[in-house]
Structure 1
Amino acid sequence: MTLADINWPLILAGLGLFLFGIDYMGDGLKSYAGDKLKDIIDKYTSSPVKGILIGALVTCLIQSSSGTTALTIGLIRSGLMNLNQAVGIIMGANIGTVITSVLVGLKISKYAVYFIIIGAFVSMFSKNKKSKYLSQIIFGFGCLFYGLDLMGNNLSMISEVPEFTQITEFLMKSPWLGLLGGTILTCAIQSSAATIAIVQQMYGAGAIGLNIALPFLFGSNIGTTITAVLASIGGSIPAKRAAFFHVLFNVIGSVLFMIVLSPFTMLIQYINSVSTMSPELQLAVAHGIFNIVTTILFFPFINKIVVIIKKIIPNHSKELQMDLSELDPHVVQLFPSHALAIAKNKILEMGAITVEACENVKEYFISKSSTAKETVEELENAINLLDKKISEYLLLISHEQLNDHDSKEYFADMKSIKDLERVGDLCINLTQFFEAVYDEKDDFSSEAKDDIIAMINMDIEMLNHAMVAFDKHDLDDIIYVDDHESNLDYYNKKAKQRHIQRVTNKTEKSVIVNSTYVDILSNLERIGDHCQNIAESYMLEEENFKPDYEVDSAFNQ
């Protein structure tokens, strides 16, 4: 038999179905669970041990260590998780990937077509959203194993090819090349699960031996880090640090196991001799031992590794870090007034983050820096999360017996949170308007730039004074915000008139600037309105509190 006799299109089709099945099933699981996965990661990762357990659990559910790492990086970027917690989740995610190789080892491929049929029919005839997500999970599960079956049936013939036999004999003498091969293959197909499945199929067919299969397995763990590395390129410093740890963890673990390859091979052979497991399941066990032992070896050095990573990848800007553990529900029942004070401190933190978001909007407008734009997005995400967490905490407080002063404090807090959240949305609106102009290689006229910068500066000053008014109830700050809000409205009106004049005179030639400029000014003016609401939050009566849920603009998030 020659290489030409093997049905390579079917092997590639099987690989494609396998990758599609994993991805489709993972998307279905994430949709079925909604935001629960992110909430689980957020809530139960107060220590590295919990992080490892949650990382393994979430990866088992979504069938993607890269997906778990992406969720984790999102929480790091929001300031709701530190690198110490994140490394636990990343290590746990590696353990969670074992579930795919275990499923492959259980040889349930013969039932794959039934999963595909059930998933397809449920998807076609069900109108319930949850049922459709469930059908997506079932269909993806079926595709995964049907693709595996296609690969396995055709890969089994490769052992009869003389050239392949020569390659395996060479690899037996050079296991480090097997490690490199596993790394390259996984980088190419972007899935360690697929690489391990291919190796399992070939090992099960007798095409390769254990001393070749294990180095490929270790290499797949190095190759899988390419996803995190690619995702971190051009990203934030926390994202780069998490990706760097992912690479460090897998490279060191793989090298250590390559050093003890002979004794590890003997251990797996001993396990094989005392069990009745299939060859595929034997490799799944080896994969599990590799990830668990590597995690145990790394665990005592987590804090030191984090320090080293921070030195290797320094952050010259201020890192966003929030501690929401202070929002303790037990304090609410014992001391509602103290709980309100805790909530207020968190709102002041939220205000500082919102000011920073406005400053980065200004930086993006002036410098067109992608880093500034990404920072706005990270800060707005943090603002949304704080809005959710503080609102939930205040809701618990509202169930307690509050005196008149505390009731007024409660309503002022609730109103201010919503206003700060709206300002965060408006910051995103502005960056999207600016991005739309810059993507077209256009720019604003110098006069238009001056008007926008002047209004952003007014908004930043007003927001700073509004937060002082919210904190100290100082009348001078309230008057300052009220006066400047009137000035902002007047300036907005004049800026629009100047813009109309430029359009009439055709000095503002950019079509996209002409179509978005008035919206930009309106968004800046609305920020001023929310600043005034925050400054006057303690002056408004309780019955006047009506949450404003209107959409601020077409770009509102």
Structure 2
Amino acid sequence: MDSSTLIKMVFELAGGLGIFLLGMKHMSDGMQAVAGNSLRRLIGTVTNHRLFATTVGVVVTCIVQSSSITTVMVVGFVNSGVMELSQAVGVIMGANVGTTITGWILVLKVGKYGLPLLGFSAFIYLFARRDRWRYWAMFAMGIGMVFFGLEVMKDACSTIKDMPSFEAWFARFSADTYLGVLKCAMVGCVLTTLVQSSSATLGITISLATQGLISYPTAAALILGENIGTTITAFLASLGTTTNARRAAYFHVIFNLVGVFWITLIFQWYIRLIQAIIGVDVSQAVMVDGNATYPHTVAAIAATHSVFNVCNMLLFMPFVTPMVRLLERILPSLPYKEKSRLTDLDIRILESPLMAIEQSRKEILKMGDGCLKMLEWHRTLMLADSPDPKLAERLKHREKVLDSVQDEVAEFITNLLSGNASHATAEEARRQIRLADEYESISDYILNLDKFDRKLRRNEFRFTEAQRTDLEALNRLVYTYVSEVHQALTNYNPNVLKDTDASNKRIRDQVKILRRKHLEELSAGTIPPVVSVAFMASLNAYIRVRDHACNIAETIANQK
């Protein structure tokens, strides 16, 4: 064997693996972009119901094509406090099942069509004008790259047969005995840990198995080891996080370790069961260009991966609550608050732009809720006969909180836009930056309203009883309008301008009436100048609140 053959094999193997992994990324990005709002809403519906949480984990992982992305996201959600540990456990179990879809994609006998599929979809991706067509093309391009990369790796592996020393080295890894199974599982674990991708190890395993360099039992044992190796990503992501986030990562490790342990005890019976299920002889060779290949092993490997993860999930399902209690005992809660930020945003969520944009949207909805509370508090403070320092302080504190939340949302979305976000996600991100700014501006004007009232009280003045009645009525109108706009944002209502037009006009008409009435009272000379200035400033502040709410409505309707 000359060095040129070895170099050629290494280059082909590395190139094939790179194309394979890039294809997996394109598949993930394309599907996430196509799934769009459906995936975002699905993520937001995770509940404590373990079966539903598990189903969400399966579906999300099938779409993003990576259990590592899903589990890292879960660690981020738990770290930020928006997902309970019991919810995270269900999603993680589902992610382990969802990741097996990769193997079944490779079962499709379209290997030789990988390159044409890649070429045709690339043309569509480059020249299509509609984003949806481009994202479907990206997904198809990813599939083409996966199969083309797999073919390149298979060709590289076929040259190993001409290298007796390499073939003898692979022959040392056999899953005929229990110790051999553990050894192969360890190799799969280490390889997955090094490349940080179970899909990469799966591609290499299938390439070796189809060329006959390793037997089906050896390939099955390698796949089991990959389940342990893939936990390293979430474990590393949990370093430096809250206690609850580390519990979620530890559950992922325990879940896979226990699963691999019990399956290795019955490994020989298990692989015979898989062969009986798929109904094909994995040892049957098919001659391709004069070389013996074993294509039936691909389906067997995919079935091995899927059946194991489904059985492990069903085994753990009844013990979710005891597992959560065990993790709480292993990692007890700290006596102080661990969260250092006001928002529930976490940089780990940026791994998946769709999940990240949904999370930042939730923070903006919280800003809207805060503005509505501030309007209520101001109405209470204005009508009170004597000042309420605690409520006034709460109002001021809420305005400062919304300032900080806007800064955190802006920083988070800026980091999101600097990554590889789709056009639709980038558009939504830019809208969210504007929404956060509008809500923060609303909070500023509400605080100003309270300042006008407090300044009058300090100077031993008050709005007249009639003015307080008029301002209270205007406050309620503004509250109704802001609430309607906020509800439209919550419900993704594109008809918000039409639905809220009546409330908007009522505020405008009411302010005109109050200004006219106030000018008439000024002519009578019965109102002190300081009260007059404060009243007109209050009317202007309410109009500005309405204007910013109108800007939010226009943003929702995509008119600006």
Which residue identity lines up with residue 32 of structure 2 in the other structure? K
Residue number in structure 1 paired with 2:304: 286
Pick closer, same or farther for the CA change 1:153–1:417 going to 2, 3 Å. farther
Deviations 1:40-89 (A, max 9, x none): 12214441111111111111111111122233233323432211111111
- The alignment status of 1:254 with 2:231, answered yes or no, reads no
212, 217, 223: which one aligns with 2:229: 223
157, 160, 163: which one aligns with 1:158: 160
Which residue identity lines up with residue 548 of structure 2 in the other structure? P
**Distance in 2 between residues matched to 1:426 and 1:33, nearest whole Å:** 28
**How far did residue 251 of structure 1 move?**
1.3
**How far did residue 478 of structure 1 move?**
7.6
Pick closer, same or farther for the CA change 1:359–1:301 going to 2, 3 Å. closer
Which residue identity lines up with residue 121 of structure 1 in the other structure? F
**Distance in 1 between residues matched to 2:456 and 2:237, nearest whole Å:** 42
Which residue identity lines up with residue 26 of structure 1 in the other structure? S
After TM superposition, the structure 1 = structure 2 runs for residues 474-513 of structure 1, keeping only pairs within 5 Å, are 479=454
| Contact 2:114/2:143, CA 8 A, preserved across alignment | yes
**How far did residue 153 of structure 1 move?**
1.9
Residue number in structure 2 paired with 1:425: 405
Residue number in structure 2 paired with 1:436: none
Instruction: Give the match's secondary structure for 2:190.
Output: helix
Which residue identity lines up with residue 134 of structure 2 in the other structure? K
Note the residue ranges of structure 2 that are not aligned, 5 or more in a row: 283-294, 348-356, 381-394, 413-442, 459-536, 553-560
- The alignment status of 1:243 with 2:246, answered yes or no, reads no
**Distance in 1 between residues matched to 2:166 and 2:256, nearest whole Å:** 28
After TM superposition, the structure 1 = structure 2 runs for residues 153-232 of structure 1, keeping only pairs within 5 Å, are 153-172=155-174, 173=177, 174-232=180-238
**How far did residue 112 of structure 1 move?**
1.2
Instruction: Give the match's secondary structure for 2:129.
Output: coil
Deviations 1:338-387 (A, max 9, x none): xxxxxxxxxxxxxxx9xx85799xxxxxxxxx9xxxxxxxxx99785154
Residue number in structure 1 paired with 2:546: 545
302, 310, 328: which one aligns with 1:310: 328
| Contact 1:32/1:133, CA 8 A, preserved across alignment | yes
Residue number in structure 1 paired with 2:128: 126
| Contact 1:42/1:81, CA 8 A, preserved across alignment | no
Instruction: Give the match's secondary structure for 2:172.
Output: helix
**Distance in 1 between residues matched to 2:316 and 2:253, nearest whole Å:** 13
After TM superposition, the structure 1 = structure 2 runs for residues 375-454 of structure 1, keeping only pairs within 5 Å, are 385-388=362-365, 422-426=402-406, 428=408
Residue number in structure 2 paired with 1:40: 42
| Contact 2:171/2:214, CA 8 A, preserved across alignment | no
**Distance in 2 between residues matched to 1:111 and 1:192, nearest whole Å:** 24
Which residue identity lines up with residue 65 of structure 1 in the other structure? S
**Distance in 1 between residues matched to 2:236 and 2:456, nearest whole Å:** 45
**How far did residue 29 of structure 1 move?**
2.2
Residue number in structure 2 paired with 1:5: 5
Give the count of matched residue pairs: 397
Pick closer, same or farther for the CA change 1:71–1:391 going to 2, 3 Å. same
Q: Which has the larger radius of gyration?
A: 2
Pick closer, same or farther for the CA change 1:39–1:429 going to 2, 3 Å. closer
Which residue identity lines up with residue 5 of structure 1 in the other structure? T
- The alignment status of 1:89 with 2:66, answered yes or no, reads no
Which residue identity lines up with residue 292 of structure 1 in the other structure? V
**How far did residue 237 of structure 1 move?**
2.9
Which residue identity lines up with residue 405 of structure 2 in the other structure? D
**Distance in 1 between residues matched to 2:315 and 2:456, nearest whole Å:** 57
Pick closer, same or farther for the CA change 1:482–1:23 going to 2, 3 Å. farther
**How far did residue 200 of structure 1 move?**
1.8
Instruction: Give the match's secondary structure for 1:545.
Output: helix
TM-score if structure 2 supplies the norm length? 0.61
Residue number in structure 2 paired with 1:55: 57
| Contact 2:46/2:87, CA 8 A, preserved across alignment | no
Pick closer, same or farther for the CA change 1:550–1:115 going to 2, 3 Å. same
| Contact 2:48/2:86, CA 8 A, preserved across alignment | no
**Distance in 2 between residues matched to 1:537 and 1:145, nearest whole Å:** 67
Deviations 1:389-432 (A, max 9, x none): 7959999xxxxxxxxx99x89xxxxx999957742335539999
| Contact 1:187/1:224, CA 8 A, preserved across alignment | yes
84, 104, 107: which one aligns with 2:106: 104
Which residue identity lines up with residue 265 of structure 1 in the other structure? I
Deviations 1:299-342 (A, max 9, x none): 1111111111122223315669xxxxxxxxxxxxxxxxxxxxxx
TM-score if structure 1 supplies the norm length? 0.61
**Distance in 2 between residues matched to 1:245 and 1:318, nearest whole Å:** 23
**Distance in 1 between residues matched to 2:61 and 2:411, nearest whole Å:** 34
**Distance in 2 between residues matched to 1:89 and 1:537, nearest whole Å:** 50
**Distance in 1 between residues matched to 2:258 and 2:454, nearest whole Å:** 61
**Distance in 2 between residues matched to 1:481 and 1:383, nearest whole Å:** 39
Residue number in structure 2 paired with 1:73: 75
Which residue identity lines up with residue 316 of structure 1 in the other structure? L
**How far did residue 233 of structure 1 move?**
2.0
RMSD: 4.5
| Contact 1:185/1:223, CA 8 A, preserved across alignment | yes
Instruction: Give the match's secondary structure for 1:171.
Output: coil
User: Among the aligned pairs, what percent are the same residue?
Assistant: 29
**Distance in 2 between residues matched to 1:285 and 1:538, nearest whole Å:** 69
**Distance in 2 between residues matched to 1:537 and 1:168, nearest whole Å:** 81
